[in-house]
């Protein structure tokens, strides 16, 4: 195989010589172009893509293009012969002569002229922009003829003086071609080794991304294109923040926390990825080696009621040391170790989703997907799409899903959806189900409209998350964490909450539980100007909370009634919600519903059999 060489000759005569000499060389396949300095840059930039192995050029042009290509650039030297030739030419000239050029030309010239005992001053330049100044200086001191490189000669001529080009002769080109063969051998070995590593990385099913100290992507393999949503060649050299702000955010966090290794789950391009990043230091500069692994193959596409919760929750993130919470945590930890389905009941906003995620994170399926399906938001059509697939996408279980499915508000599945789930689950035995509902399981078991078979499947174990009012001792701790989170987001420096405010918070019933507490504290924090949440900062929010009937207003705003199914089914759901909110007190429920006790009794009896 011949070495593919692109020669860029800064003057036409060199092109002819190169074409002539390359024709005789069996090991080199050379194309020659004529271009000087800046004109040569685009040629050099395209050379690698065009399949050249090495570039050959001369003097200032060679130095310049080296900065614009990853290929090796071999410089045709200005040899002693070249200088000797030109000095022989001008040795009898009566006019004063000088050499002006880059160091290689000047040093050679000075050496040869001193050997020949001719006095030729040399003006060394490091950049083409200095040539004009050097020429002026030479001409001022009486120089009439300048010897030099292409840029020297051209500028001298433009200034109205005589310039003689030191051309490269056959010996210099022979020397350059020898160097091409030697450089190529080293380059070939290096390239083969690099290709070997590149092929290994390219074949890896994990996405591999190498970042430099500015979080710019230096390398990305094929598998990294999917999560980053771009083509391989567009990724290299681009900033991570543009390709994946979420991943860039995680790396930034890890840097700020001075971590040298980080493992996280990230949601990118509608899929979940496990991210493992290791900090590296090359030549004193820091960077990251990031590996991205798809947690599973199924993707969400446009199904809104199916979501990936934004963060990984572990049991440690559940705040509260009350025995009520700790008992639930210890029960949930035991459940996590088994692979059985869990039914989590609890009031609105009490932490059911957090428990579901913590169970997943502590289970053997932690490396697989966790999807939350909002059952009350799914239309029957969407359930069908999710479970049976569409023309463009496989159904959830056909897509090889093997993680945890969290069926949020599973009590609100329509009859149609229940049947669909039942069929799908009968066929799939590799999924962990966690379901949640506001309704205690015992109540649901009496509902005629709910499939007993499905319940048996999705409620093998039961967990009850205690409402916040049953563990008031946790409130202060939760508020403290909320303040800390808020400080880091907002830059404020709030250090606590006054006892008077805390007491009033503890006395409140919290029908919307921690979700409601979060909103309340958030509002107080926004209005707080000092270091503590003072009574004044909290007054308006507290008054609203403590308004007579305030809790009911709050509770009602959390209720979502599923309007699918027959009128009787919808009526049943409304009836059930009102009864539940009134603590199963029929008189209060009748008053709110505007029906008499007999009607309620009849409907309730029909719906809940022996329940009321
Ligand atoms: N023990 C806890 N410690 C800290 N934060 C909590 C805790 N429990 C719940 N939260 C927070 O309260 C909010 C509500 O929690 P979550 O969504 O898990 O409740 P839920 O019972 O699933 O709500 P829903 O009834 O809407 O399904 C979330 O922002 C969650 O992070």
pLDDT of residue 607: 56
* Strand, coil or helix: 458: helix
Listed in sequence order, the residues at least 6 apart from 336 whose beta carbon sits closer than 8 Å to its beta carbon are 358, 359, 360, 362, 363
Structure tokens at 282: 């090359």
- For β-strands 370-374 and 306-307, DSSP reports them as antiparallel
**Cα of 70 from ligand 1 centre, angstroms:** 54
Whether the pLDDT of residue 610 is over 70: the answer is no
Q: Does 388 share its domain with 438?
A: yes
pLDDT of residue 566: 62
Q: Does 486 share its domain with 374?
A: no
> Phi, psi (5° rounding) for residue 596?
-85, 170
Q: How far is CA 484 from CA 477, 497, 561, in A?
A: 11, 12, 35
Bridge partners (DSSP) listed for residue 8: 33
Residues in the chain: 612
Q: Does 120 share its domain with 178?
A: no
Query: Among 469-473, 485-489, 499-503, whose mean pLDDT is lowest?
Result: 485-489
* Strand, coil or helix: 117: coil
Q: Does 378 share its domain with 315?
A: yes
Whether the Cβ atoms of residue 308 and residue 404 lie closer than 8 Å to each other: no
pLDDT of residue 609: 44
Looking up residue 134, the CATH number of its domain turns out to be 3.40.50.10660
- For β-strands 73-75 and 96-101, DSSP reports them as unpaired
Answer whether residue 301 is part of any domain. no
Domain count for the chain, please give it: 6
256 φψ region: left (φ > 0), alpha (ψ -120 to 50), beta (else): alpha
Whether the pLDDT of residue 31 is over 90: the answer is yes
Contact 6 CB / ligand 1 (< 6 Å): no
Answer whether residue 556 is part of any domain. no
Q: Does 112 share its domain with 230?
A: no
Query: How far apart, in whole angstroms, are the C-alpha atoms of residue 567 and residue 569?
Result: 5
Q: Quote the DSSP letter at residue 75.
A: E
Whether the Cβ atoms of residue 401 and residue 296 lie closer than 8 Å to each other: yes
**Stretch 341-351: mean pLDDT:** 95
pLDDT of residue 352: 96
**Stretch 112-124: mean pLDDT:** 85
Looking up residue 369, the CATH number of its domain turns out to be 3.40.50.300
Pairwise pLDDT comparison (269 vs 384), residue with the higher score: 384
Q: Does 34 share its domain with 179?
A: yes
* Strand, coil or helix: 164: strand
Other CB atoms closer than 10 Å to residue 397's CB: what's the count? Answer: 21
Whether the pLDDT of residue 199 is over 70: the answer is yes
Answer whether residue 48 is part of any domain. yes
* Strand, coil or helix: 339: coil
Contact 443 CB / ligand 1 (< 6 Å): no
Looking up residue 268, the CATH number of its domain turns out to be 3.30.450.20
Check: complex ipTM more than 0.95 = yes
Q: What is the pLDDT of residues 546-583, one digit of tens each?
A: 775 544 444 444 455 566 556 666 677 677 777 766 66
Query: How far apart, in whole angstroms, are the C-alpha atoms of residue 164 and residue 27?
Result: 34
Query: Among 15-19, 81-85, 270-274, 347-351, whose mean pLDDT is lowest?
Result: 270-274
* Strand, coil or helix: 609: coil
pLDDT of residue 400: 73
Mean of the per-residue pLDDT values for the chain?
85
Residue to substitute in 351, 485, 518 for testing ligand 1 pocket (most ligand atoms within 8 angstroms of CB):
351
Looking up residue 19, the CATH number of its domain turns out to be 3.40.50.2300
**Stretch 222-236: mean pLDDT:** 82
Q: Does 277 share its domain with 341?
A: no
Answer whether residue 194 is part of any domain. no
Range of the domain at 17: 3-77+172-188
Q: What is the pLDDT of residues 543-553, one digit of tens each?
A: 888 775 544 44
Sign of CA dihedral 478, 482, 487, 488: positive
Residue to substitute in 320, 329, 345, 354 for testing ligand 1 pocket (most ligand atoms within 8 angstroms of CB):
354
* Strand, coil or helix: 435: strand
Pairwise pLDDT comparison (369 vs 399), residue with the higher score: 369
Looking up residue 511, the CATH number of its domain turns out to be 1.10.8.60
Q: Which one of 188, 221, 244 terminates a domain?
A: 188
Contact 60 CB / ligand 1 (< 6 Å): no
Q: Does 355 share its domain with 456?
A: yes
Bridge partners (DSSP) listed for residue 123: 100
pLDDT of residue 554: 45
Share of the chain above pLDDT 70, in %: 90
Structure tokens at 186: 């080293």
pLDDT confidence band for 369 (50 / 70 / 90)? confident
Whether the pLDDT of residue 611 is over 50: the answer is no
Q: Whose CA is nearest to atom 30 of ligand 1?
A: 351
Q: Does 346 share its domain with 452?
A: yes
Contact 319 CB / ligand 1 (< 6 Å): yes
Whether the pLDDT of residue 81 is over 60: the answer is yes
Other CB atoms closer than 10 Å to residue 610's CB: what's the count? Answer: 6
pLDDT confidence band for 23 (50 / 70 / 90)? confident
> Phi, psi (5° rounding) for residue 282?
-120, 130
**Cα of 143 from ligand 1 centre, angstroms:** 87
Whether the pLDDT of residue 359 is over 90: the answer is yes
pLDDT of residue 329: 97
pLDDT of residue 310: 60
Query: How far apart, in whole angstroms, are the C-alpha atoms of residue 179 and residue 24?
Result: 16
Q: Does 244 share its domain with 377?
A: no
Q: Does 39 share its domain with 177?
A: yes
Whether the pLDDT of residue 243 is over 90: the answer is no
pLDDT of residue 565: 59
**Stretch 213-225: mean pLDDT:** 89
Answer whether residue 554 is part of any domain. no
Contact 346 CB / ligand 1 (< 6 Å): yes
Answer whether residue 330 is part of any domain. yes
Q: Whose CA is nearest to atom 25 of ligand 1?
A: 348
Q: Which one of 294, 328, 363 terminates a domain?
A: 294
**Stretch 274-302: mean pLDDT:** 83
**Cα of 551 from ligand 1 centre, angstroms:** 18
Whether the Cβ atoms of residue 140 and residue 201 lie closer than 8 Å to each other: no
Q: Does 542 share its domain with 572?
A: no
pLDDT of residue 586: 73
pLDDT confidence band for 524 (50 / 70 / 90)? very high
Answer whether residue 557 is part of any domain. no
**Cα of 518 from ligand 1 centre, angstroms:** 9
Query: Among 403-417, 503-517, 562-576, whose mean pLDDT is lowest?
Result: 562-576
Answer whether residue 558 is part of any domain. no
Query: How far apart, in whole angstroms, are the C-alpha atoms of residue 484 and residue 462?
Result: 33
Query: How far apart, in whole angstroms, are the C-alpha atoms of residue 46 and residue 317?
Result: 54
């Amino acid at each position: 195989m011949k070495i593919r060489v692109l020669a860029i000759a800064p003057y036409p005569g060199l092109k002819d010589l190169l074409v002539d000499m390359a024709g005789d060389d069996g090991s080199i396949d050379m194309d020659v172009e004529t271009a000087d300095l800046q004109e040569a840059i685009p040629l050099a930039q395209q050379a690698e893509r065009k399949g050249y192995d090495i570039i050959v050029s001369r003097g200032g042009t060679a130095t310049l293009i080296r900065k614009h290509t990853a290929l090796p650039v071999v410089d045709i030297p200005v040899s002693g012969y070249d200088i000797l030739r030109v000095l022989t030419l001008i040795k009898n000239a009566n006019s004063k002569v000088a050499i002006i050029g880059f160091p290689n030309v000047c040093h050679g010239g000075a050496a040869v002229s001193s050997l020949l005992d001719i006095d030729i001053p040399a003006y060394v330049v490091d950049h083409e922009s200095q040539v004009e100044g050097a020429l002026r200086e030479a001409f001022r001191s009486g120089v009439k003829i300048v010897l030099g490189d292409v840029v020297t000669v051209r500028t001298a001529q433009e200034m109205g003086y005589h310039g003689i080009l030191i051309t490269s002769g056959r010996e210099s080109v022979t020397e350059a071609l020898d160097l091409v063969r030697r450089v190529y051998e080293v380059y070939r070995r290096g390239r083969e080794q690099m290709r070997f590593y590149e092929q290994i990385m390219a074949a890896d099913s994990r996405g591999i991304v190498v970042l430099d100290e500015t979080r710019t992507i230096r390398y990305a393999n094929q598998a990294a294109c999917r999560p980053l949503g771009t083509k391989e060649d567009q990724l290299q050299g681009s900033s991570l923040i543009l390709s994946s702000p979420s991943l860039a955010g995680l790396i930034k966090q890890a840097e700020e926390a001075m971590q040298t290794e980080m493992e996280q789950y990230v949601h990118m391009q509608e899929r979940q990825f496990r991210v493992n990043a290791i900090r590296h230091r090359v030549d004193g500069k820091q960077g990251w080696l990031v590996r991205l692994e798809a947690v599973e193959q199924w993707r969400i596409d446009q199904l809104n009621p199916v979501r990936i919760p934004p963060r990984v929750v572990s049991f440690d993130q559940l705040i509260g040391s009350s025995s009520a919470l700790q008992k639930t945590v210890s029960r949930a930890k035991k459940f996590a170790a088994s692979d059985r389905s869990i039914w989590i009941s609890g009031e609105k906003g009490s932490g059911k989703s957090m428990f579901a995620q913590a169970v997943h994170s502590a289970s053997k399926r932690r490396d697989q997907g966790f999807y939350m399906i909002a059952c009350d938001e799914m239309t029957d059509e969407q359930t069908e799409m999710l479970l049976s697939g569409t023309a463009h996408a496989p159904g959830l279980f056909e897509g090889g899903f093997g993680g945890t499915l969290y069926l949020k508000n599973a009590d609100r599945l329509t009859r149609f959806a229940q049947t669909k789930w039942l069929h799908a689950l009968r066929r799939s035995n590799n999924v962990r189900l966690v379901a949640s509902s506001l309704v205690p399981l015992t109540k649901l078991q009496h509902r005629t409209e709910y499939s007993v078979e499905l319940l048996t499947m999705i409620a093998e174990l039961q967990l009850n998350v205690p409402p916040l009012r049953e563990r008031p001792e946790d409130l202060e701790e939760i508020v403290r964490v909320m303040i800390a989170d808020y400080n880091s987001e907002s830059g404020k420096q709030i250090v606590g909450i006054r006892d008077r405010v805390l007491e009033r918070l503890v006395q409140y019933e919290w029908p919307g539980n921690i979700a409601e507490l979060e909103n309340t504290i958030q509002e107080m924090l926004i209005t707080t100007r000092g270091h503590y949440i003072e009574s004044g900062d909290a007054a308006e929010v507290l008054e609203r909370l403590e308004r007579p009937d305030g809790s009911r207003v709050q509770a009602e705003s959390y209720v979502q009634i599923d309007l699918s199914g027959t009128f009787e089914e919808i009526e049943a759901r409304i009836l059930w919600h009102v009864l539940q909110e009134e603590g199963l007190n029929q008189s209060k429920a009748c008053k709110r519903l505007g029906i008499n006790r007999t009607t309620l009794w009849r409907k309730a009896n029909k719906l809940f059999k022996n329940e009321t």
